[in-house]
Chains A and B, each alone.
Chain A
Amino acid sequence: MTGLLTVVLFLPIAGAILLVFLPKDIPGPIKGGGLLVSLLTFLASLAIVGRFHDGIGGFQLVESHAWIPQWGINYTVGVYGISLWLVLLTTLLTPVVILASWNSIHKHPKEYVISMLVMESAMIGAFLAMDLVLFYVFFELMLLPMYLIIGVWGGKNRIYAAIKFFLFTIAGSLLMLLGIIYLGFQQVHLTAGGVPTFEITQLYGLSLPPHIQTILFFAFALAFAIKVPLFPLHTWLPDAHVEAPTGGSIILAGVMLKMGTYGFLRFVLPFFPDASIHYAPLLICLSVIGIIYGALVAWVQPDMKKLVAYSSVSHLGFCVMGIFAINQASIEGSILQMVNHGLSTGALFLLVGVVYERRHTRMLADYGGIARTMPVYTVFFVIAMLSSVGLPGLNGFVGEFLILAGSFQTHPGYATVAAIGVILAAIYLLWLIQAVFFGPITKDENRSIPDIAWNEIAAVVPLIIMIVWIGIHPNTFLRRMEPSVQQLLATVRGEQPEKVMTASLAAAATRSPVAQTLLSVRSGARMRGRQGLSVGVQGPKGAQTEVSVLRVTR
């Protein structure tokens, strides 16, 4: 099936357009429709995993159409090991969010569902885009629905939070736009007719002079650092989280923040390797400050949602640290941790939303001992919390362990300090559990809280399943990202692409014979594909050829 990625990308938006024509006053069918569309998208995204070739580091399932040929801007999408799981995380979280908001969104349900679906498309688009301008378009497209979600369905200070969120993000991303334009015009003289190129595969390995790398590095890094958010730029995040409705928080923490870390991996490292290596200590330092600072601030929060929000600052600090430690283990850990954080923090926000629905307060002091009145709820919350803490056997452990193990090789000092963050996380999350669930019931209202409802269980169970799956068998996920990470590292270190090519193929072959057979079977199935592949293996053209193989295959 060609166009699989396009289907996944545009299915939610198509659904949103259909929903526009539904009348306003039937919230049931509207939410049902939204759920159906997002579930279909999820199924379609599972097909991406099914068609994903394990042993290949480059882009797969690539589709390319001219969009603005005069500027060399194409609609090019493709998936590779680093983005695969993030796409799946997005498609998984969207139905979860719609389920979770089933009974909590009463105001303008139609617009809410539409915003969520547009968000989903934009996020998937940003993960899949292989053209810088296309990426930028999706990156910006995310802003407005999120702005509305915070601003319309948010809490008391929602307008302030929404504007702050919007302005912070756009300030960074506009500078990135300049960087994108500059990059695109780097090779203008090489192409016929002076058309710039924004295809990232053509821009990888572009060895720019150091001073230009530095400028562009900061233009891009600022945009992504705001999105992550990295320590001094994080101030919009707690406001946004506290004011956003539960669904908004889940999407914000679960996927949107990953745009930042993903951007570092996909653009900053491969485009500006020298600058990245040079400024890695700075970013690691900031992320370690973020880890400790986020944890400490989370500790003293009286508000559950704020606590989880600050824990996000801390957790994403780990992701950035892993990325800039620049080695196989830490980057793989970082990618996995992005997914983990999406699952565990998403679950936590969802569960905080559940009690908020019932009690309309998020203050720790207003709860206590509700484990007795809400036993099922407590089980889910504790699992999500333990995942966030990094208990072995659950997903958080794998990610944090890989990041710390990787970082110890390159930056032992920072890694040691960061490890304190893990301990702090255990403290503040256990403190939360202690204060909310155990101990005597001090408030009468807490004696009669209804336990978690069917829609909330349906929303949280998939997350818990994934949390356990990643914890027990992370290799399902790591295996598919490994070749891409290897290739990324090779680009950063300036190694010759063909070495990577052979390395990743060899790695694939040794590790998984299935992968090799898969390759040969698939290439055998398509004549053109096989020709391309044989060139790819024997020829000296390397990674570039590999991409072309996949293009032919499609």
Chain B
Amino acid sequence: MTWADTLLLLPELIAATGASILLIVPVLGGRARGHMAKWAMLALMAVTALAVIGSTYAVAGVQQTPTFRAMFAVDAFSVFFKLLFVVVIALVTLLSEDFLSEERYSTWEYYSLLAFALCGMMFMASGVSLITIYIGLELLALSSYILAGYYKNHEESTEAAMKYFILGTVSSAILLYGISLIYGVCGSMRLSTIAAALSTMLSNDALMFGIMLLAAGLCFKIAAVPFHVWTPDVYVGAPTPISAFLSTGSKAAAFAVFARVFYVAFPAFHLDWSNVLAAIAALSMIVGNLAAITQTNVKRMLAYSSISHAGYSLLGIIAMNEMGLRGILIYTMVYVFANLGIWATILMLRRHAYAGESVEDFRGLHKRAPFAAFSMVVFLLSLGGIPPTAGFIGKYFLFAAAVQAGFGWLAIVAVVMSAVSMFYYLRLVVAMYLEEGSGAETIYSPSLRFVTALSLTVTLVVGFIPELPIRQVIESSSHLVGRVVQR
């Protein structure tokens, strides 16, 4: 370990240190100045973002810099996701402002936990060994459990946290079991070593079992179908900004891990696991979309929609080709911004505790808040994959990857389910534009406005001028794809 190694670790170190500082501030008398916490957190995010960008210069010209005995690596892929995470956490911070001041929960600890979660997510993005990935994932999960239960005086929030915690730990155990089986077979937890070991190995049951358990554990984190039951309850029960975080940042991190592990470690057994994942993806899309149709609670609807989106994103992993990996990257980004925008609108409608949840609250929104309503339409269209929004670009990648990889049937399921999804997305559009009604009053704070505007900008820019983001995505993923293509 050298100083250079530590420098590569700078973003994570900053996040962890920042989290600790945020913890200490109230003890030093910052308790009264709760409103300062937001600015401290945003400053921390800015510094972290700079550190992430800085770390790219440290590895300029090198595809990947594994360090700490090849357990941690800084590469373009991890930088892409880390920047995305920092932006997500910064936006969640902005989303949380009103909620915290209104509900009067302690602010510093809240942001501290968010920073810990960010730290975990960054470890996940950079982890090139199953053990670092696992610990990063646990760090994220632990912070998320507590954040989900942050409304500790609300029954729903506590219930959500409890459900999330119990199912989360079970899934972590399954994941760990999978990791131990893979370790047992391959004798290493490093992804590249595993890949090398597997390339000379015949398919065997213990290994397949391990891969399947690993996939199952990750499927829990992304909320894919047989492991999705926690999603609706948690999204509804958790504080709304945390639901926003769980459906965007947390999922994005899980997808980063999913993509890296499967693209780096398991290409050799693609034929064996792809069909199982294809079934999971198809089920996620079908169950998620069909269940979303019947929901009257917007948060629940978004939860089911996020289940279906996990299914779409899985196409990228199943396809196991260039298009697929790029598709995951861009789709994750697109999905994150569209979703954050929608959550911002829900928060805007939130009257005190839990309002802004029912579809009826959106009635006639275009009269009361034309900008929010318009952005909401764009976000919903983006989730539905309608051009010229960013969602189309993302879905195009994924569908193209599936078609290229010979999973035509899965692409057809995805397409049909996209059409179905438009049905419930349109219900919100109908409520906002076509129905009259007073609905809930709106509190559109500058922070929420900023989140909406930023998400809208990204959604439209990626939709209209996709060249630049696509180039970025190609740069960020080519070194992982290279291995797959060489195969």
Task: Report A's interface with B, CB cutoff 8 A.
Answer: 66-71, 133, 136-137, 140-141, 143-144, 147-148, 151-152, 158-159, 162-163, 166-167, 170-171, 174-175, 177-178, 181-182, 184-185, 196
Question: Given A68-B466, A151-B430, A170-B386, are A178 and B423 neighbors across the interface (CB < 8 Å)?
Answer: no
B403 within 8 A of A: yes
Report chain A residues within 8 Å CB of B379: none
Checking B388, B415, B470 against A178 with a beta-carbon cut-off of 8 angstroms, the contacting residue is B415
Q: Would you call B404 and A178 a contact (CB within 8 A)? A: no
Q: Would you call B470 and A70 a contact (CB within 8 A)? A: yes
Chain A proximity mask over B423-435: 1 for CB below 8 Å, otherwise 0: 1001001100111
B411 within 8 A of A: yes
8 A Cβ contacts from B423-453 to A: 423, 426, 429-430, 433-435
Instruction: Give the complex CA separation of A433 and B387 in angstroms.
Output: 43
B245 within 8 A of A: no
B102 within 8 A of A: no
Known: A174-B418, A184-B400, A185-B400. 8 other contacts (CB 8 A): A68-B467, A137-B392, A143-B386, A144-B386, A159-B434, A166-B426, A167-B419, A185-B403
B206 within 8 A of A: no
Instruction: Give the complex CA separation of A144 and B388 in angstroms.
Output: 11
Interchain residue pairs A-B with the least CB separation, the first 8: A137-B387, A171-B419, A174-B415, A151-B434, A181-B400, A70-B470, A140-B387, A170-B419
Q: Would you call B467 and A67 a contact (CB within 8 A)? A: yes
Q: Would you call B400 and A174 a contact (CB within 8 A)? A: no
B60 within 8 A of A: no
Instruction: Give the complex CA separation of A407 and B160 in angstroms.
Output: 67
- Chain A residue nearest to B423 (CB atoms) is A167
Q: Would you call B419 and A174 a contact (CB within 8 A)? A: yes
Q: Min CB distance, B331 to chain A, in Å?
A: 15
Report chain A residues within 8 Å CB of B430: 151, 159, 162-163
- Chain B residue nearest to A69 (CB atoms) is B467
Q: Would you call A178 and B412 a contact (CB within 8 A)? A: yes
Report chain B residues within 8 Å CB of A67: 467
Q: Min CB distance, B320 to chain A, in Å?
A: 16
B36 within 8 A of A: no
Instruction: Give the complex CA separation of A21 and B95 in angstroms.
Output: 29
Report chain B residues within 8 Å CB of A181: 396, 399-400, 403, 411
Q: Would you call B412 and A175 a contact (CB within 8 A)? A: yes
Report chain A residues within 8 Å CB of B467: 66-70
Q: Interface centre among B404, B416, B430, B435, by most A CB within 10 Å?
A: B430
B69 within 8 A of A: no
- Chain B residue nearest to A133 (CB atoms) is B396
Q: Would you call B399 and A178 a contact (CB within 8 A)? A: yes
Q: Would you call A70 and B474 a contact (CB within 8 A)? A: yes
Q: Min CB distance, B423 to chain A, in Å?
A: 6
13 contacts between A and B (CB under 8 A): A67-B467, A71-B396, A137-B388, A144-B377, A159-B435, A166-B426, A170-B419, A174-B385, A174-B415, A182-B408, A185-B400, A185-B403, A185-B404
Q: Would you call A152 and B434 a contact (CB within 8 A)? A: yes
Instruction: Give the complex CA separation of A157 and B467 in angstroms.
Output: 42
8 A Cβ contacts from B447-487 to A: 466-467, 470-471, 474
Report chain A residues within 8 Å CB of B423: 163, 167
Q: Would you call A171 and B388 a contact (CB within 8 A)? A: no
User: Residues of B within 8 Å of A, CB-based: how many?
Assistant: 34
B381 within 8 A of A: yes
Instruction: Give the complex CA separation of A178 and B470 in angstroms.
Output: 20
Q: Would you call B415 and A177 a contact (CB within 8 A)? A: yes
B100 within 8 A of A: no
Q: Would you call B404 and A158 a contact (CB within 8 A)? A: no
Q: Min CB distance, A533 to chain B, in Å?
A: 34
Report chain A residues within 8 Å CB of B419: 167, 170-171, 174
Instruction: Give the complex CA separation of A137 and B352 in angstroms.
Output: 41
Tell me whether chain B's interface is mostly helix, strand or loop, or mixed. Answer: helix
B422 within 8 A of A: yes
Q: Would you call B433 and A152 a contact (CB within 8 A)? A: yes
Q: Interface centre among A133, A140, A152, A170, by most B CB within 10 Å?
A: A170
Instruction: Give the complex CA separation of A68 and B422 in angstroms.
Output: 26
Report chain B residues within 8 Å CB of A196: 400
Question: Given A143-B386, A177-B396, A178-B403, are A167 and B433 neighbors across the interface (CB < 8 Å)?
Answer: no
Q: Would you call A175 and B422 a contact (CB within 8 A)? A: no
Q: Min CB distance, A315 to chain B, in Å?
A: 28
Report chain A residues within 8 Å CB of B404: 185
Q: Would you call B434 and A140 a contact (CB within 8 A)? A: no
Q: Min CB distance, A122 to chain B, in Å?
A: 10
- Chain B residue nearest to A168 (CB atoms) is B419
Q: Min CB distance, B66 to chain A, in Å?
A: 28
Q: Min CB distance, A215 to chain B, in Å?
A: 8
Q: Would you call A148 and B433 a contact (CB within 8 A)? A: yes
Instruction: Give the complex CA separation of A196 and B408 in angstroms.
Output: 17
Report chain A residues within 8 Å CB of B385: 174
Report chain A residues within 8 Å CB of B471: 70
Q: Would you call A136 and B433 a contact (CB within 8 A)? A: no
- Chain A residue nearest to B417 (CB atoms) is A174
Report chain A residues within 8 Å CB of B470: 68, 70-71
Report chain A residues within 8 Å CB of B393: 68
Chain A proximity mask over B366-407: 1 for CB below 8 Å, otherwise 0: 000000000001000100111110001100100110011000
Report chain A residues within 8 Å CB of B386: 140, 143-144, 170
Instruction: Give the complex CA separation of A143 and B377 in angstroms.
Output: 13
Q: Min CB distance, B388 to chain A, in Å?
A: 5
Q: Min CB distance, A252 to chain B, in Å?
A: 17
- Chain B residue nearest to A184 (CB atoms) is B400
Q: Min CB distance, A217 to chain B, in Å?
A: 15
Instruction: Give the complex CA separation of A174 and B426 in angstroms.
Output: 16
Chain A proximity mask over B160-184: 1 for CB below 8 Å, otherwise 0: 0000000000000000000000000
Report chain A residues within 8 Å CB of B381: 144
Q: Interface centre among B381, B399, B474, by most A CB within 10 Å?
A: B399
Question: Given A170-B422, A174-B415, are A162 and B403 neighbors across the interface (CB < 8 Å)?
Answer: no
Instruction: Give the complex CA separation of A70 and B474 in angstroms.
Output: 9
Q: Would you call B399 and A163 a contact (CB within 8 A)? A: no
- Chain B residue nearest to A148 (CB atoms) is B433
Q: Min CB distance, B380 to chain A, in Å?
A: 11
Q: Min CB distance, A134 to chain B, in Å?
A: 9
Instruction: Give the complex CA separation of A174 and B387 in angstroms.
Output: 11
Q: Would you call A166 and B422 a contact (CB within 8 A)? A: yes
Instruction: Give the complex CA separation of A66 and B416 in angstroms.
Output: 30
Instruction: Give the complex CA separation of A68 and B463 in angstroms.
Output: 11
- Chain A residue nearest to B377 (CB atoms) is A144
Report chain B residues within 8 Å CB of A151: 430, 433-434
Instruction: Give the complex CA separation of A71 and B326 in angstroms.
Output: 12
- Chain B residue nearest to A143 (CB atoms) is B386
Instruction: Give the complex CA separation of A403 and B296 in angstroms.
Output: 51
Q: Would you call A182 and B403 a contact (CB within 8 A)? A: yes
Report chain A residues within 8 Å CB of B396: 71, 133, 177, 181
Instruction: Give the complex CA separation of A175 and B403 in angstroms.
Output: 12
Q: Interface centre among A69, A136, A137, by most B CB within 10 Å?
A: A137
Q: Would you call A141 and B434 a contact (CB within 8 A)? A: no
Report chain B residues within 8 Å CB of A175: 412, 415-416
Report chain A residues within 8 Å CB of B429: 147
Report chain A residues within 8 Å CB of B434: 151-152, 158-159, 162
Report chain A residues within 8 Å CB of B433: 148, 151-152
Instruction: Give the complex CA separation of A324 and B55 in angstroms.
Output: 62
Q: Would you call A174 and B388 a contact (CB within 8 A)? A: no
Q: Min CB distance, B371 to chain A, in Å?
A: 11
Q: Would you call A163 and B474 a contact (CB within 8 A)? A: no
Q: Min CB distance, B397 to chain A, in Å?
A: 9
Report chain B residues within 8 Å CB of A133: 396
